[in-house]
Structure 1
Amino acid sequence: MGLGPETIDGNTMNVGTSKSKARKQILNDDEEGDGGESRCWIKFRLFGSCLSSRSKVDSSVSGSSSQYAESESTNDTSRCQPLAQAVSSSTNSNIESIPSTPKVDEELRIASQLRKFSYSELKLATRNFRPDNLLGEGGFGCVFKGWVNENGSTPVKAGTGLAVAVKTLNHNGLQGHKEWLAEVNYLGELINPHLVKLIGYCIEDNQRLLVYEFMPRGSLENHLFKRSLPLPWPIRMKVALSAAKGLAFLHEEAEKPVIYRDFKTSNILLDADYNAKLSDFGLAKDAPEGDKTHVSTRVMGTYGYAAPEYVMTGHLTAKSDVYSFGVVLLELLSGRRSMDKTRPNGEHNLVEWARPYLGERRRFYRLIDPRLEGRFSIKGSQRAVQLAARCLSREAKLRPQMSEIVEALEPLPNLKDLACSSSYFQAIYAARVNVNTNARSGVRLQPGSLKNAQPTRSPSIQNRSHASPYNQFQSFQSPNPKIS
């Protein structure tokens, strides 16, 4: 994100005497015992890529969307990539246009509760955007942890006051400015426990920054795909339920309904108790009003999550979000990414791989993350698979509303009928382990060899090279999960 050297150099700041003293105190306190040379080089590497990251650029090309998608990195879900769209001259007039120059005063609707920060204040709050404070990198810039006064904009010593996440914005491209405006305008007005709280903003010369509440457990993406311990089943269902409540609020409860348009695991953040909150409203759009059935717009989003009818036509509806929710629900169930080219042929696209199992009640277990080793509810997983199938219907009108999804998910986190307690599912799991082991060793099983699989206990850590993290504990417990 266009953070140049002048951004990092504290000597360029021009602030009053009191703020200079505050800056000195904050930076000195933060650097004591730091051992600067011992900082992790990985963070510096990420920070370097952050400096050069690009803003999203709309893409309108001829040809199929699948051809475009093949050229994208399918494993990078932290960025929201534009989806290609075959656009005819007849549809161009309906597509949103980018203004030649930003008209900030006319476009910015500032909610009264938002705080206005100066650039120097946020620079101090994040310790000059130090790599040590880097939380992550998104499609529009880097996010840094900072600390500000509980009731104001003054930066304070690390570990005191209010912890915040400060998102910077790329400077190259007006589209980034548009998305910054959308974020302020939507999150400034939309208040809900399942949306990340926007605390304030900074608009100063060409600087555009946003200040959010700090979410201590990070993104769902990290927990599902980048942690050694698998996310427990009750937590997965809790996350699905609270994320669904966020979308239901946007679609059915907000004063002016909103289509989120970018629902994916990297945009679902978790608080200390694993409650999910939606973040990044840069692509959000007002839902159609009156007798309008859809919004015509550029096809933007992340490949693998976008609804097929939206990719083909550019017609955006609330049911587009429902499809994306179905993809995320599948990711929660399976532990697989929506797009993953490291998997065998035929399994790159999660939805296409899963479709044969979605409609067959007796084969649903093939969709469940094997790392759970049977620690999932049989009834709950069956209901969740059926719900995912409805959300992923190719016919948009057959998909449920988000309020229906919330109702269906409500009981799932608390179901206790674990598959590992069933001899039938123990046998299935044992057979599945044998198939995977033989596949890796090149052994080919004869037809019907799985029919006589007997219930067995999972191998112990000592006898198994790929032991489950669950077996490291007699009773696995996530940190302070409050299932409600």
Structure 2
Amino acid sequence: MYNRTCEGLVHAQSKVQLLNSECVQEAQRVNAAQRREQSLRKAAALEKQKYLEAEKEVEMAKQLLAKETYERQMAELKAQKESLEKKRIVEALLSSDRRYKRYTMQDIQKATGFLAESNMIGEGAYGKVYKCSLDHTSVAVKILRPDAADRKEEFLKEVEVLSQLRHPHIVLLLGACPENGCLVYEYMENGNLEEHILRRKGRPPLPWPVRFRIAFEVACGLAFLHQSKPESIVHRDLKPGNILLDKNFVSKIGDVGLAKIISDVVPDSVTQYRDSVIAGTLFYMDPEYQRTGTLRPKSDLYSFGVIALQLLASRHPNGLITKFENAVSSGTLSEILDKSIIDWPLAQAEELAHIALKCCKLRCRDRPDLETEVLPILKRLAEFADSVSSTGRDHVPKHFYCPILQEIMDNPHIAGDGFTYEHGAIKAWLDRHDVSPVTREKLQNKTLTPNYMLHSAIQEWRKLKG
């Protein structure tokens, strides 16, 4: 019995050991299952995260695609709008627009001796300028270079702008040949102001009264551009080379190819940055316009200020503002004035220098108002110059001047409005209009009658003047 008991105990112990082994194995299986479950949970969480990120990327891609589609559509609409605008301009220019006379290329070639070099009076990036005669009137013809395709839009803008402008101190556009890039201007016998300031082409120095008058005339022309309706016009490239002088040294602003029509003028007190192409000439360009890309009428005022200083000093514009600031502050203005002029009125010259330096302030908001602050001073200086000049304009009877050209007439004719004009000028006007250039009232007829009495008086006056 004892043996059976021992055998049962041994058997029970073996069974317990077996059960313990099975429990250990089961525990190991449970732990392994838990580890697999955790691993699967981590894998599932990782997959879920990847899915969410992929879903987010898909959503961002959709948004980006929608944005790109919108921007492309807007760009296409803008391009279409610009294309239609250019087409409108070209069609308007090529239509029967009577604001200027249309010439054929055959007319231009015949008048210029088939573009003879002997008739060429100037050349620039746009092409060449020829002097010739059209409709019995001396004219200057600007011809765009065939390879200057990038200037075509600038050329069309010049035709569009100039054809609408009529002012004594804006160069008069007489005609054009848009198809071949030709502009026909009134001929300005005394070249441009830069030639006189820097004594080029043997030009003699301008008397100070003429310089004072030119400053006033240019400011008047600028004011006219800035006050244009319905939108202001900013020249953007005002410089002595773009100011032309007629045979009586009356100044006129030319080369408006870079002019810009401003529909949303930014107040002078606001600094606004714009992504735009900067246009203009170094030393004459508004620093604020260069820095921000924002164009204002007062951008031209900076250029005018530099030109006014050049009229006083006859020097290159580089560093000229600083030199005048130092001269004015130290009381040595007379040392910087053009030495070829020995009779400068120093008080008036200093007044012109002061207003010019104000125009050259770095910020638009610090520059004076052209209409209310600059013009009154320049007008007073011009009147002073005329009063002391033996060759001033007041010594010429006012009725000797053509109301259109503002020049002494060579061939005066009476028009249907009773006023007398230079024959070539009034003929060109009547080719495009049926109203009086003076009264703006409709003319009863377009008959032109020679004014022999006035012609005789002008000839007699010229003889007396020597």
Question: Pick from 183, 191, 209: which aligns with 2:158?
Answer: 183
Whole-Å separation in 1 of the counterparts to 2:203 and 2:137: 30
Q: Which runs of 5+ in 1 are unaligned?
A: 1-92, 150-160, 340-348, 419-474
Larger Rg: 2
Tell me if 1:329 matches 2:329.
no
Contact 1:288/1:317 (8 A) holds in 2: no
Give how far 1:144 is off.
Answer: 0.2
Cα distance change on mapping 1:131 and 1:416 into 2, 3 Å: closer
* Corresponding residue to 2:239 among 245, 249, 264: 264
Q: Identical aligned pairs, as a percentage?
A: 31
Question: Which secondary structure state, in structure 1, belongs to the residue aligned with residue 132 of structure 2?
Answer: strand
1:235 aligned counterpart, secondary structure: helix
Residue 407 (str. 1) matches residue 373 (str. 2): no
CA contact (8 A) 2:225 2:232 kept: yes
C-alpha distance in structure 2 between counterparts of 1:288 and 1:103, whole Å: 16
Q: 1:254 to 1:244 in 2, by over 3 A?
A: farther
1:395 maps onto 2:374 in alignment: no
Residue 349 of structure 2: aligned partner: 381
Residue equivalent to 2:292: 313
Q: Give secondary structure in 2 for the equivalent of 1:258.
A: strand
Residue number in structure 2 paired with 1:278: 253
If the length of structure 2 is used for normalisation, what is the TM-score?
Answer: 0.61
More helix by share: 2
Does the C-alpha gap of structure 1 residues 235 and 481 become closer, same or farther in structure 2, counting only changes over 3 Å?
farther
Pick from 120, 128, 132 the counterpart of residue 106 of structure 2: 120
Residue matched to 1:171? 146
Measured in 2, the distance between the counterparts of 1:334 and 1:123 equals: 41
1:307-366 deviation line (CA, Å, top 9, x unaligned): 111112221111110000001001101010213xxxxxxxxx322333322445x22223
Once residues 148 and 79 of structure 2 are traced to their aligned partners in structure 1, the CA distance between those partners, rounded to angstroms, is: 14
2:217–2:251 CA contact under 8 A, matched in 1: yes
Q: How many residues are aligned here? A: 311
* Structure 1 pair 329–290 and aligned structure 2 pair: CA distance change class (3 A): closer
In 1, the alpha carbon distance for the partners of 2:116 and 2:396 equals 34
- Secondary structure of the 1:168 match is strand
Q: How does 1:232-247 map to 2 (within 5 A)?
A: 232-247=207-222
- Residue equivalent to 1:17: none
Residues 290 and 223 (structure 1 numbering): CA distance in 2 closer, same or farther, change over 3 Å?
Answer: closer
- Structure 1 residues 5-84: aligned runs within 5 Å: none
1:217 aligns with 2:205: no
Contact kept in structure 2, 1:116 and 1:202, CA below 8 Å? yes
1:351-407 per-position Cα deviation (integer Å, ceiling 9, x unaligned): 2333322445x222233111112x111221011011111001112111112223221
Distance in 2 (alpha carbons) for counterparts of 1:372 and 1:144: 33
CA distance in 2, matches of 1:482, 1:368: 29
Report if aligned partners of 1:358, 1:389 keep a CA contact under 8 Å in 2.
no
User: Offset of 1:203 from its aligned partner?
Assistant: 2.6
Task: Note the 1:147-162 alignment, pairs <5 A.
Answer: 147-149=133-135, 161-162=136-137
Matched with 1:107 is: 89
Name the counterpart of 2:425. none
* Aligned counterparts of 1:112 and 1:191: Cα–Cα separation in 2: 14
Q: With structure 1 as the length reference, what TM-score do the two structures score?
A: 0.59
Q: Tell me the CA shift for residue 107 of structure 1.
A: 2.2
The secondary structure found in structure 2 opposite 1:411 is helix
| CA deviations over 1:167-225 (Å, ceiling 9, x no partner) | 01123344300110110110011111110011111133xx2111111111111111111
When residues 328 and 483 of structure 1 are mapped into structure 2, their CA distance, relative to the original with a 3 A threshold, is farther
What is the match of residue 354 of structure 1? 324
Equivalent position of 1:80 in the other structure: none
What letter is aligned with 2:236? Answer: R
Against the structure 1 CA distance between its residues 248 and 118, is the aligned structure 2 distance closer, same or farther, given a 3 Å change threshold? same
How far apart are residue 134 of structure 1 and its match? 1.1
1:197 corresponds to: 172
Taking the aligned partners of 1:179 and 1:97, their CA distance within structure 2 comes to 18
Could you tell me whether the CA contact under 8 Å between 2:156 and 2:178 is conserved in 1? Answer: no
CA RMSD of aligned residues (A): 3.3
- Please state how far the C-alpha of 1:228 moved relative to its aligned partner: 5.2
1:139 CA drift (Å): 2.9
Deviation of 1:481 (Å) = 8.8
Q: How far did residue 477 of structure 1 move?
A: 6.4
Whether contact under 8 Å (1:134, 1:145) holds in the other structure is yes
**SS of residue paired to 1:217:** coil
2-structure distance, mates of 1:197, 1:416:
26
Q: Distance in 2 between matches of 1:482 and 1:170?
A: 42
CA displacement, residues 102-121 of structure 1 (integer Å, 9 cap, x when unaligned): 98542234452211111111
Cα–Cα, structure 1 residues 304 and 415, in superposed 2: closer, same or farther, change >3 Å? same
Q: 2:386 & 2:246 partners in 1: Cα distance? A: 27
Task: Compute the displacement of 1:274 (Å).
Answer: 1.2
